[in-house]
Amino acid sequence: MVRVRRKPPGCLVSCALGHLRQGFLFPKNTKTKQQTHTLEFSDSLCLAYGQQVKALFELSSPAEMVENLWEIYSGFVNFEKQTGYNPRQANLFLTFRELMLFCSRIEAMK
């Protein structure tokens, strides 16, 4: 089952998409092959992502992954001090932060 993140009630697009996924706008027997294929593709893609995340966290726990990320980022920061300015430094930090938050959300699910 795919969970749909809800938007504010004023958002017509998300409401329409939510109703479409639940079969309210189109009865289940009138869905076209393209719509069915798209939903099946989305479901299978989510399942594949979930399997990859599961495999990743079988290697180490989310808490261990956070520690490893801190070590990697700390090493990067030390290297940056030696080599000088990097124009991508802000983007790299944001990626690091998103990975940390992702691991935290996975840890909270357990």
25-50 pLDDT tens trace = 444 555 555 566 676 778 889 999 99
Q: Is 86 helix (H, G, I), strand (E, B) or coil?
A: coil
Contacts of 14 (CB under 8 A, 6+ apart): 6, 7
- DSSP secondary structure string for all residues of 42-95: HHHHHHHHHHHHHHHHHHS-HHHHHHHHHHHHHHHHHHHHHH---TTHHHHHHH
55-72 pLDDT tens trace = 999 999 999 999 999 999
Rounded to two decimals, the pTM is 0.57
Per-domain boundaries in the chain: 60-110
pLDDT at 82 over 70: yes
Q: How many CB atoms lie within 10 A of CB 65?
A: 20
pLDDT at position 12? 36
